[in-house]
């Protein structure tokens, strides 16, 4: 659904974006630790943002050495450490730096070492929705596939999946373009249940896995705008002198802020609280690997990490699986994925890295707007 997660004329569907700048640099505090372990402290000064501890000088010296290594030297060193050797040079440098930093901090910590994540599980979502070849500005996308892929952040494995098709209400007849793009046939949606019923099954699936109760979890999605629409939207906003606003909204998460928001209004149910905050992996990827967001579409992220797409493009479940593979690789490389976007009062807001780290709340059945 990548190429159609946008509205070319900048219509917001009552969803606005804040002007708060994205602050994605990960902090070493508030980490989730395995059961029975306390969060380790390197020194009191570290928790206050003071990196004067000698260990950081060692890390800085190591980083300087890594920066001078050739691609082949990086590959050889990664192989010696039994780390993944795939990816472009910048990705391999980041992987080696993260590995060395983690090892040094573990050696210095009073007990144990910092974990790789803030959550026990990350739940990847990538909807497919009704679409036309040239979506009019007032076109209301309805969700027709609801997939989920569950990542265990401690084992760094995909441990479960969920998938159901959804019967659209406003435009029950799929366009030929939509069928060809997504592979979802008219028969599939006609035999499916309406969105509120499918959402109840999603909630049940999450509850059975004790997410939000026993285990801390977060939703993750891929904020995406196609290159063609990127250029057309940029031209439109530039003509109005709103270039800064364009860059604020262009990488927002269409799955949550647009598709799910619209669908809940169409289905006359309240927006689910467990989906009000999420990780936009494009933002996390761009900040972690220091690449411009124009280089963070799904296929490019996979390529830069030395991975290839598996499955059928524009299948919601296959897209979710591939996004999950990227998330796993980022965790392996030392990235601490955390919530960076949220919905509040119908507005899309950025979550700064200084905000407290919280998991998604326990999921509950959808409530009527009436």
Q: Cite the active site residues.
A: 128, 314
Using a 10 angstrom Cβ sphere, with 0-12 exposed, 13-18 middle and 19 or more buried, the burial of residue 349 is middle
- Pick from 287, 282, 303: nearest CA to 353: 287
- Quote the Cα angle for 276-323-123, to 5°: 40
Q: Is the four-CA dihedral 297, 300, 305, 306 of positive or negative sign?
A: positive
Those residues with Cβ within 8 angstroms of residue 216's Cβ, 6 or more apart along the chain or in another chain = 32, 118, 119, 120, 121, 359
Q: What is the DSSP string of 205-250?
A: HHHHTTBTTTB-EEEEE-----HHHHHHHHHHHHHTT-HHHHHHHT
Give dist(CA 237, CA 212) in Å, integer: 40
Give dist(CA 236, CA 169) in Å, integer: 32
In eight-state DSSP terms, residue 293 is: G
Secondary element (H or E) of residue 278? strand 277-280
- Pick from 94, 106, 99, 32: nearest CA to 67: 94
Give dist(CA 323, CA 309) in Å, integer: 10
Q: What is the DSSP string of 170-204?
A: S--SPPHHHHHHH---HHHHHTSBPHHHHHHHHHH
In eight-state DSSP terms, residue 256 is: I
Secondary element (H or E) of residue 344? strand 341-344
- Pick from 319, 202, 222, 219: nearest CA to 269: 202
Q: Cβ distance 217 to 122 under 8 Å?
A: yes
């Amino acid at each position: 659904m990548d190429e159609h997660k946008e509205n070319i004329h900048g219509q917001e569907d009552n969803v606005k974006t804040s002007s708060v700048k994205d602050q994605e640099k990960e902090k070493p505090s508030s980490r989730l630790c395995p059961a029975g372990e306390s969060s380790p402290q390197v020194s009191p000064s570290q928790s206050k943002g003071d990196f004067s501890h000698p260990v950081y000088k060692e890390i800085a010296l190591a980083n300087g050495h890594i920066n001078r290594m050739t691609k082949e030297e990086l590959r050889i060193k990664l192989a010696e450490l039994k780390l993944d050797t795939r990816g472009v040079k910048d990705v391999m440098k980041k992987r080696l730096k993260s590995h060395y930093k983690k090892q040094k901090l573990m050696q210095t910590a009073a007990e144990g070492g910092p974990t790789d994540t803030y959550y026990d599980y990350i739940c990847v979502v990538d909807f497919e929705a009704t679409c036309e070849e040239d979506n009019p500005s007032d076109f209301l996308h309805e969700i027709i596939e609801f997939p989920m892929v569950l990542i265990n952040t401690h084992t760094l494995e995909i441990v479960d999946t969920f998938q159901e098709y959804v019967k659209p209400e406003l435009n029950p007849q799929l366009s030929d373009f939509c069928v060809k793009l997504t592979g979802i046939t008219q028969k599939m949606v006609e035999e499916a249940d309406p969105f509120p019923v499918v959402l109840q099954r999603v909630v049940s699936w999450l509850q059975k896995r004790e997410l939000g109760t026993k285990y801390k979890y977060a939703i993750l999605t891929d904020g995406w705008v196609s290159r063609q629409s990127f250029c057309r939207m940029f031209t439109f906003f530039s003509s109005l002198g709103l270039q800064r606003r364009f860059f604020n909204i262009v990488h927002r998460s269409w799955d949550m802020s647009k598709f799910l928001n619209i669908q809940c209004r169409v289905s006359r149910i309240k927006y689910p609280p467990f989906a009000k905050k999420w990780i936009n992996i494009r933002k996390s990827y761009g900040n972690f690997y220091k690449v411009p967001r124009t280089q963070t579409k799904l296929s490019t992220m996979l390529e830069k990490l030395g991975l290839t797409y598996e499955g059928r493009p524009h299948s919601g479940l296959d897209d979710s699986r591939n996004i999950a593979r990227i998330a796993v690789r980022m965790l392996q490389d030392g990235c601490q994925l955390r919530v960076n976007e949220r919905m509040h009062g119908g507005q899309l807001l950025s979550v700064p890295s200084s905000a407290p780290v919280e998991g998604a709340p326990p999921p509950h059945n959808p409530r009527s707007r009436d």
